[in-house]
């Protein structure tokens, strides 16, 4: 089989141009920065870079030349290459130039663009979808385990006496460890789950006497007066720093022993956290324009979902000073129950995905909600996106929006579901991060540069088209 699928020797890095998901060519990120191209050259690969590929995010042709790249024109770059790397999916015209058996490595999104997927198959192009590559095995940091196990221990009494359904969980501040605590709490279905700004005034806490659990990290939140007030009011209090000091080493060891790594984990090539951050920031910007009289800090804000994208949104909203962020899990977003949270809402950020069989059938935020519950001037940000063949959980979003026209209005509510949220002010930063991840998949853990003969498990599942044997190069 290796003779049919040899190692990739000639690699093309192409420029982002207008394509189905990049109207106007406003996506400027490059898949590999010069520093990472140098790693491929050092590994013995011939790397061809299209003229101007990195200029949109501040990397010149000369920088690529200095790292050993061979510069080519748009007419040359797709011809007779073993591996073609780009960020977004290709234009339809470029597919016809690729040699059968070539491998394309990009954000393919086959479910959203089925016609292009069929054209790639007809042309016998192997496609590895960047967005489908997963960690293998799953990786978890110590900080994530600490937050998870600390919250689990704190919630155990409420689970035991069946009072979790009346508990209000309130997380003070933001960090990786606190984010893991949010995720664990969300999975336990408390009555409510909120992320409170670390600067929130004691008077704004609405102390409820034995009906709330406040979670904080004393290494970050050094407000002893606030904590003393909570304890005096009889509220439950959990300090993650204290838990780590007393139980951290044992908790991590026991967790890793009792939870062997799953075969697959998170996406290997992703800026999901940055996606959430960019979307939330844009939502606040739109809200400030729509409701200039509203103090953003006092806005009623809900984030649907608490996965990687949702946590990025929570992080940004906290950093922007929003006092209270309602974090809604599966039970909170169920039909009928979500109405309570959407009534008089100022900003909704959707980070919740639907399983494939519910897409286009079940909508978490319906058009009826926009018409009857969400006030005029409010904003709905959809971080999940979709297309007519792969619908978003926000019913008004029939297709993603683009930088050419990033938002629209439905019944007085502003809705945005941008294709590529980090393009909204975070292009260079995310290009650098994506590049490092792509280079690591090519040369590091997964060794994708060795070709299609023996793909790592996390990459094999991302081969969405092919494998088609390599055709002989034309001279």
Q: How confident is the model at residue 262 (pLDDT cuts 50, 70, 90)?
A: very high
Residue with tokens 């591996």: 83
Neighbours of 367 (CB within 10 A): 14
Give residue 454's region: left, alpha or beta (phi > 0; psi -120 to 50). beta
Q: How confident is the model at residue 425 (pLDDT cuts 50, 70, 90)?
A: confident
What pTM value is reported for the model?
A: 0.86
Q: How confident is the model at residue 135 (pLDDT cuts 50, 70, 90)?
A: very high
Q: How confident is the model at residue 210 (pLDDT cuts 50, 70, 90)?
A: low
User: Each residue of 175-201: pLDDT tens digit?
Assistant: 999 999 999 999 999 999 999 999 998
| Residue 174: partners with Cβ closer than 8 Å, 6 or more residues away | 195, 198, 314, 315, 318, 319
What pLDDT, on a 0 to 100 scale, did the predictor assign at position 1?
Answer: 45
Rounded Cα distance, 156 and 148, in Å = 12
Please state the domain extents for the chain.
Answer: 10-136+427-465, 142-423
Under a CB-based contact definition with an 8 Å cutoff, are residues 303 and 314 in contact? yes
Rounded Cα distance, 379 and 300, in Å = 11
Q: Determine what percent of the chain is predicted with pLDDT higher than 70.
A: 98
CATH class of 10-136+427-465: alpha beta
The two most distant CA atoms of the chain are separated, in Å, by: 81
Is the pLDDT assigned to residue 475 strictly greater than 60?
no
Q: Residue 44, class by beta-carbon neighbours within 10 Å (0-12 exposed, 13-18 middle, 19+ buried)?
A: exposed
Q: Which two tokens mark 240?
A: 């993650």
Rounded Cα distance, 305 and 115, in Å = 31
User: Each residue of 214-254: pLDDT tens digit?
Assistant: 999 999 998 889 999 999 888 999 999 999 999 999 999 99
User: Each residue of 3-59: pLDDT tens digit?
Assistant: 688 999 999 999 999 988 888 889 999 999 999 999 999 999 999 999 999 999 999
Q: Which CATH architecture has domain 142-423?
A: 3-Layer(aba) Sandwich (3.40)
């Amino acid at each position: 089989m290796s003779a049919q699928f040899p190692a990739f020797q000639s690699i093309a890095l192409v420029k982002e141009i207008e394509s189905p998901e990049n109207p106007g060519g406003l996506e400027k990120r490059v898949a590999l920065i010069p520093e990472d191209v140098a790693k491929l050259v050092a590994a013995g690969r011939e790397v061809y870079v299209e003229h101007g590929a990195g200029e949109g995010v501040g990397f010149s042709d000369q920088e690529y030349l200095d790292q050993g790249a061979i510069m080519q024109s748009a007419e040359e770059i797709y011809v007779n290459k073993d591996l073609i790397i780009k960020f977004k999916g290709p234009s339809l015209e470029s597919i016809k130039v690729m040699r059968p058996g070539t491998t394309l490595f990009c954000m393919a999104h086959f479910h959203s663009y089925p016609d292009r997927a069929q054209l790639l198959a007809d042309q016998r192009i192997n496609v590895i979808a960047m967005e489908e590559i997963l960690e293998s095995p799953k990786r978890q940091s110590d900080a994530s385990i600490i937050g998870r196990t600390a919250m689990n221990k704190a919630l155990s009494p409420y689970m035991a006496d069946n009072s979790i359904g009346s508990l209000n969980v309130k997380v003070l501040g933001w960090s990786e460890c606190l984010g893991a605590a949010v995720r664990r709490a969300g999975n336990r279905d408390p009555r409510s789950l909120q992320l409170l700004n670390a600067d929130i005034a004691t008077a704004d806490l609405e102390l409820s006497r034995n009906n709330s659990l406040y979670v904080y990290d004393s290494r970050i939140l050094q407000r002893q007066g606030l904590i003393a007030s909570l304890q005096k009011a009889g509220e439950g209090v959990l300090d993650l720093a204290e838990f780590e000091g007393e139980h951290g080493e044992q908790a991590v060891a026991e967790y890793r022993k009792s939870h062997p790594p799953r075969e697959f984990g998170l996406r290997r090539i992703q800026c999901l956290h940055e996606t959430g951050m960019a979307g939330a920031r844009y939502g606040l910007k739109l809200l400030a324009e729509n409701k200039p009289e509203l103090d953003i800090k006092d806005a009623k804000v809900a984030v649907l979902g608490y996965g990687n994208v949702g946590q990025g949104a929570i992080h940004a909203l906290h950093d922007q000073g929003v006092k209270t962020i309602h974090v809604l899990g599966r039970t909170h977003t169920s039909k009928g129950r979500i109405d309570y949270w959407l009534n008089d809402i100022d900003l909704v950020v959707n980070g919740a995905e639907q399983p494939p069989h519910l897409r286009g059938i079940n909508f978490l935020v319906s058009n009826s909600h926009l018409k009857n519950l969400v006030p005029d001037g409010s904003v709905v940000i959809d971080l999940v996106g979709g297309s007519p063949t792969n619908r978003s959980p926000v019913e008004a979003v029939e297709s993603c929006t683009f930088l050419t026209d990033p938002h629209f209005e439905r019944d007085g509510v502003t809705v945005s579901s941008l294709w590529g949220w980090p393009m909204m002010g975070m292009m260079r930063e995310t290009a650098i991060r994506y590049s490092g991840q792509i280079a690591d998949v090519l040369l590091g853990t997964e060794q994708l540069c060795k070709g299609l003969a023996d793909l790592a498990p996390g990459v094999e599942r991302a081969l969405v088209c092919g494998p088609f044997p390599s055709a002989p190069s034309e001279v």
